[in-house]
Amino acid sequence: MLGLEFPPINEVIRWRELFPTFNKVALIGVLAALIGMSIYAIAARRDPMVAPRGVRNLAETGVEFIEDQIVLQTMGREGLGWTPFLLSLFIFVYLCNLPGIIPVLQMPATARMALPLFLAVVVWLIYNAVGFKHNGIKYLTGMVWPHSVPVAMRPLVGLIEFMSNILLRPFSLAVRLFANMLAGHMLLVTFALLTNAMVFAETKQLLLKPMGILPFLMLVFLVAFEVLVGLLQAYIFTILTAVYIGLARNPEH
């Protein structure tokens, strides 16, 4: 027997509290917020007349990425005022995703549903507030009785639009982030355990030791892959937020 025993799922995705009501998920969230704020606080102290380098170059690259690849692509120039919020959201989500490959932490905070759901509810509140601010009650009436479709189809389309915009979006936004990050975490745990079991196999199973290189190589690949997945999921969460805000601001589009 290989002696491979997968730990209970509760041990894989749940940490003991560091102190009451505060565990590693909360710690990662706090660190992500502090690191993000520190980057831009340090960048803001540099002389703007000097060519950007180091932290300032990183900060300006982040701003340009959000403006060019998210805001202008989804909201147009009128949405540039949302750049600070979308930038903060992108950095926070990515920094919460990244600990999945960091020793000791070894889990993305977004692989626990609480954090993605909280962020999704914040986004839901914001885009609905924007919709009512720019369109008044027409934001809701235009949603449940859309004038761009035939009259006979309006009740059905209106119900679908209401369910999608008001009820389902925050859950789909949260579940997409949570499920992808949890799946990656589970894969890393699986191949790490398999590598450990084969490399440290019993003496009578020496033939398994050389074969341990296979799951180890897969583990290395998955670690690199998770860096990209974390970045992609942060991008998807942020660009969907921009799309929802843009649609709420101009629902006729």
- At 109-125, the pLDDT tens digits run 898 888 999 999 999 99
1 occurs within a structural domain: no
Evaluate whether residue 4 is within a structural domain: no
- The pLDDT assigned to 68 comes to 93
100 in any annotated domain: yes
**Residues written for the chain:** 253
Residue 2: Cβ-neighbour burial (10 angstroms; 0-12, 13-18, 19+): exposed
What is the distance between the alpha carbons of residues 187 and 51, in angstroms, rounded to a whole number? Answer: 43
Residue 91 is assigned to a structural domain of this protein: yes
Phi then psi dihedrals of residue 47, to 5 deg? -65, 120
DSSP letters of the chain?
A: -----PPPHHHHH----SBTTB-HHHHHHHHHHHHHHHHHHHHHHS-TTSPP-HHHHHHHHHHHHHIIIIIHHHT-GGGGGGHHHHHHHHHHHHHHHGGGGSTTT-S-GGGSTHHHHHHHHHHHHHHHHHHHHHHTTHHHHHHHS-TTS-GGGHHHHHHHHHIIIIIIHHHHHHHHHHHHHHHHHHHHHHHHHHHHHHHT--GGGTTHHHHTHHHHHHHHHHHHHHHHHHHHHHHHHHHHHHHHHHHHHSTT-
Report the C-alpha gap between 110 and 25 in whole angstroms. Answer: 8
Quick one: pLDDT at residue 21?
76
| Residues lower than pLDDT 50 in the chain | 1
Residue 117 lies in a domain: yes
Instruction: State the Cα–Cα distance between residues 25 and 191, nearest whole angstrom.
Output: 23
Q: Return the pLDDT at 242.
A: 95
pLDDT score at 51? 61
Residue 206: predicted pLDDT: 61
Q: Indicate whether 80 belongs to any domain.
A: yes
Number of domains making up the chain:
1
Q: Is residue 111 part of a domain?
A: yes
Rounded Cα gap, residues 60 and 53, in angstroms: 9
pTM > 0.75: yes or no: yes
Establish if 3 belongs to a structural domain: no
Residue carrying the six token digits 């589009």: 253
**Residue 188: exposed, middle, or buried by beta-carbon count in 10 A (0-12, 13-18, 19+)?**
buried
> 242 lies in which domain range?
9-249
